[in-house]
């Protein structure tokens, strides 16, 4: 027999003898082992190793499952260290551990699997940085050689599986003022020490508090699977095939519930730098698909800072507005606000979030630029955007709904706002720069527009605002100062070559346009107050208006003036029923003082007729008082008085002044002939006394 054959035979006999010995020992243990005989030894061992009280109030049991042997302990409790409260750090209804028999016979404790049911684990870090788990586990120096099987048997762990069921883990971090609690947890850890990836499955409920206030609580139902690999020394953890589903609710959300899902191809956590790196991840939230590639989170356990590239698609804006309880009217275009996609570089840090290199499309409008929310606690929003073409008509409310809202407001069903939200205005921090390529709205084209808006501690400023409206140019600036006691307003506006009728038509659905023409407008106004009733009486500044090649729709005034002039010129009246007065040029300017607009200039050139006058518009009392002089081409003057409240203006002709003027001009021809001439003309027209004819002319004004 060869030496190889003899060696094989001896080895086989040795293994067989060892197996038989193991079976004999296991049989002996089953027949003779009394678990309660070792209760005190187990308690003393734990207390010696940790320095904390350890109790076993339930039974100890032994299970045989060759080549493993299992120990089951019920109702265990492990205390907190001094200074961390009276509640135990850990309690469990049942702890079950299975050990390898052969290493156990050689004095080596090797745990293959562990199960904990009804675990209650309370982890706490105090404001001074001390934790209730510091010093709990002691590890041998890795530089020391292994004790080896013949050195007395070094206890160790060779876990293949850990399972938690119906468990609760609570974490209280006083240093960062945060709390988290996981309940009804089921956790499976498989393949822990085989050298391959550890398979992780988690299912349960999580609650997290952004701070100690109840309104900042987040609830999450989480389901997660992934494979993890732990590098030597535990300094790095790598993972693959992360699949997580969340159901988020809670007072910290303005919306009621969202269900994001997260998938990541691979990730790595570096304990030394406290950094999480994801090569690629995908998230679906309420139908919105987000892709991150790559994504890095620094200071993960302290103050996380996330950087990476994000792409989003399929965002239903209306759906998200509803989640935030923001209701908007039903739009004319049912497809509007249904599609948003974007990509940008992303940075999220403890104080805010930044999107740079933004390239987005909302419906059919392109948006590029930068967007930052610089402070979560006191939001400071910064925008620098270039916006493409917008068809604003798509976003108008449906006509029927708009009519219903107007009726409700006129009936008093809609309460009027109670002044400016001053406190809200003072809290906002904003820097916005917007370049608009083109905006279409009911026939108007706003193009090549640039605007800058800032807000800081109640001071809101718009300016400069430059752009074009159709063929006209606009320059504007505005300021609202709500930083002090009473809000202050300032508006500067300059419009050139504006089609005034087209603008006014937007605000009158009946098509009643009082004036049309190409308009230049300049104004600089200041006011103060919380409400309209206090703003108008404080209005100061000036307004100037120039209108060319226009039409004035004046109704009864035009007809009355033309009839009077025609009578004095001994010709038939040519006034049409439309009551429109074409003109070549209209100049008007006002000084505003305490809400009263006093005319500096009012002139109109309408060919055969010209007009001038003086007067005022009283905004606080909604009234007008103007004395107008209408001139014919033969220098005949018709004085017109316009007076009364906005909603019930009265118009009258000063015929006595007219007669006196004609008498003065006719003195050289003889007073009697002029009087006779006037009476003759009146009798030809009506056959009535002159006073009644003049009264009839006044009636034509209305």
pLDDT in tens, 286-317: 788 888 888 888 887 667 788 999 999 888 88
Task: Please give the pLDDT value at position 630.
Answer: 77
- Burial of residue 337 (CB within 10 Å: 0-12, 13-18, 19+) is buried
- Burial of residue 113 (CB within 10 Å: 0-12, 13-18, 19+) is buried
Q: Where are the alpha helices (DSSP H) in 377-499?
A: 399-410, 422-427
**Domain ranges within the chain, ordered by starting residue:** 27-134+153-194, 438-663
Task: Please give the pLDDT value at position 660.
Answer: 56
pLDDT band at 539 (very low <50, low <70, confident <90, very high): very high
Q: Are 259 and 252 in contact (CB under 8 A)?
A: no
Instruction: Calculate mean pLDDT across residues 59-70.
Output: 78
Looking at per-residue confidence, does 412 or 400 come out higher? 400
Instruction: Calculate mean pLDDT across residues 629-640.
Output: 71
Could you tell me which residues come within 8 angstroms of residue 89 by beta carbon, excluding any fewer than 6 positions away?
52, 78, 79, 80, 81, 121, 122, 123, 132, 133
Whether 656 shows a pLDDT value over 60: the answer reads no
Task: Please give the pLDDT value at position 639.
Answer: 79
Q: What is the pTM of this model?
A: 0.67
pLDDT in tens, 540-565: 999 999 999 998 776 555 555 565 55
- Give rounded-to-5 percent helix, strand, coil for the chain: 20, 50, 30
| Cis status, amide bond into 554, omega within 30 of 0 | no
pLDDT in tens, 196-252: 688 899 999 988 776 556 556 778 889 999 998 877 666 788 888 889 888 777 655
Match 């809400």 to its residue by tokens.
595
Task: Please give the pLDDT value at position 690.
Answer: 41
Looking at per-residue confidence, does 571 or 240 come out higher? 240
Please report, rounded to a whole number, the percentage of residues in the chain having pLDDT higher than 90. Answer: 26
For residue 458, the number of C-alpha atoms closer than 13 Å in the C-beta half-sphere is 14
Distance of CA 377 to the CA centre of its chain: 14
Looking at per-residue confidence, does 193 or 501 come out higher? 501
Distance of CA 93 to the CA centre of its chain: 46
Q: What is the dihedral of CA 476, 481, 487, 491, to 10 degrees?
A: -10
Whether 666 shows a pLDDT value over 70: the answer reads no
Looking at per-residue confidence, does 655 or 281 come out higher? 281
Q: Are 236 and 268 in contact (CB under 8 A)?
A: yes
For residue 210, the number of C-alpha atoms closer than 13 Å in the C-beta half-sphere is 12
Distance of CA 325 to the CA centre of its chain: 12
Task: Please give the pLDDT value at position 377.
Answer: 63
pLDDT band at 143 (very low <50, low <70, confident <90, very high): very low
Task: Please give the pLDDT value at position 508.
Answer: 65
């Amino acid at each position: 027999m060869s030496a190889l054959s003899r060696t094989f035979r001896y080895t086989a006999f040795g293994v067989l003898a060892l197996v038989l010995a193991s079976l004999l020992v296991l049989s002996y243990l089953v027949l003779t082992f009394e678990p309660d005989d070792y209760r005190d030894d187990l308690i003393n061992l734990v207390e010696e190793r940790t320095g904390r009280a350890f109790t076993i109030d339930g039974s100890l049991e032994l299970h045989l499952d060759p080549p493993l042997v299992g120990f089951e302990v019920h109702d265990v409790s492990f205390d907190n260290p001094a200074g961390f409260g009276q509640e135990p750090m850990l309690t469990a209804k049942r702890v079950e551990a299975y050990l390898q028999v052969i290493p156990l016979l050689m004095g080596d404790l090797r745990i293959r699997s562990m199960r904990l049911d009804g675990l209650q684990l309370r982890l706490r870090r105090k404001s001074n940085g001390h934790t209730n788990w510091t010093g709990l586990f002691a590890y041998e120096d890795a530089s020391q050689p292994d004790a080896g099987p013949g050195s007395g048997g070094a206890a160790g762990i060779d876990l293949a599986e850990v399972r938690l069921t119906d468990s609760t883990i609570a974490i209280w971090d006083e240093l960062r003022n945060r709390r988290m609690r996981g309940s009804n947890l089921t956790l499976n850890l498989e393949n822990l020490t085989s050298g391959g990836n550890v398979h992780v499955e988690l299912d349960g409920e999580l609650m997290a508090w952004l701070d100690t206030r109840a309104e900042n609580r987040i609830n999450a139902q989480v389901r997660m699977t992934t494979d993890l690999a732990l590098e030597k020394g535990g300094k790095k953890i790598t993972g693959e095939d992360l699949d997580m589903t969340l159901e988020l609710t809670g007072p910290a959300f303005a919306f009621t519930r969202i269900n994001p899902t997260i998938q990541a191809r691979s990730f790595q956590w570096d304990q030394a730098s406290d950094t999480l790196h994801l090569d690629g991840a995908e998230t679906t939230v309420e139908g919105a698909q987000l892709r991150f590639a790559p994504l890095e989170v620094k200071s993960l356990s302290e103050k996380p800072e996330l950087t990476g590239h994000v792409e989003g698609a399929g965002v239903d804006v209306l759906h998200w507005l509803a989640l935030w309880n923001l209701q908007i009217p039903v739009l004319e275009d049912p497809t509007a606000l249904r599609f948003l996609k974007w990509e940008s570089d992303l940075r999220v840090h403890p104080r805010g979030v930044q999107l740079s290199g933004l390239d987005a499309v909302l419906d059919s409008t392109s948006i590029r630029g930068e967007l930052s929310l610089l402070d979560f606690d006191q939001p400071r929003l910064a925008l620098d955007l270039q916006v493409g073409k917008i068809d604003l008509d798509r976003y108008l409310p449906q006509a029927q709904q708009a009519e219903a809202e107007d009726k409700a407001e006129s009936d008093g069903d809609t309460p009027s706002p109670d002044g400016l939200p001053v406190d809200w205005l003072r809290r906002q921090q904003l820097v916005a720069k917007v370049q608009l390529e083109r905006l279409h709205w009911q026939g108007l084209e706003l193009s090549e527009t640039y605007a800058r808006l800032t807000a800081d501690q109640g001071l809101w400023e718009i300016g400069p605002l430059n752009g074009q409206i159709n063929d006209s140019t606009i320059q504007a600036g505005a300021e609202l100062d709500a930083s002090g006691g009473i809000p202050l307003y300032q508006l500067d506006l300059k419009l050139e070559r504006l089609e005034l009728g087209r603008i006014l038509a937007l605000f009158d659905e009946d098509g009643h346009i009082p004036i049309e023409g190409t308009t230049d407008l300049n104004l600089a106004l200041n006011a103060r107050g919380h409400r309209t009733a206090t703003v108008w009486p404080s209005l100061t500044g000036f307004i100037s208006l120039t209108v060319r090649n226009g039409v004035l729709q004046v109704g009864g005034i035009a007809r009355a003036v033309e009839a009077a002039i025609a009578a004095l010129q001994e010709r038939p009246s040519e006034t049409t029923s439309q009551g429109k007065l074409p003109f070549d040029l209209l100049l008007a300017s006002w000084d505003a003082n305490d809400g009263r607009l006093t005319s500096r200039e009012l002139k109109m050139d309408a060919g055969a007729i010209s007009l001038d006058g003086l007067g005022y518009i009283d905004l606080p009392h909604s009234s007008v008082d103007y004395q107008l002089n209408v001139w014919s081409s033969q220098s005949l003057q018709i004085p017109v008085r316009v007076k009364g409240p906005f909603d019930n203006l009265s118009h009258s002709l000063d015929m006595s002044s007219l007669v006196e003027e004609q008498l003065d001009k006719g003195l050289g021809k003889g007073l009697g002939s002029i009087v006779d001439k006037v009476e003759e003309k009146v009798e030809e027209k009506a056959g009535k006394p002159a006073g009644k004819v003049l009264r009839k002319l006044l009636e034509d004004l209305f």
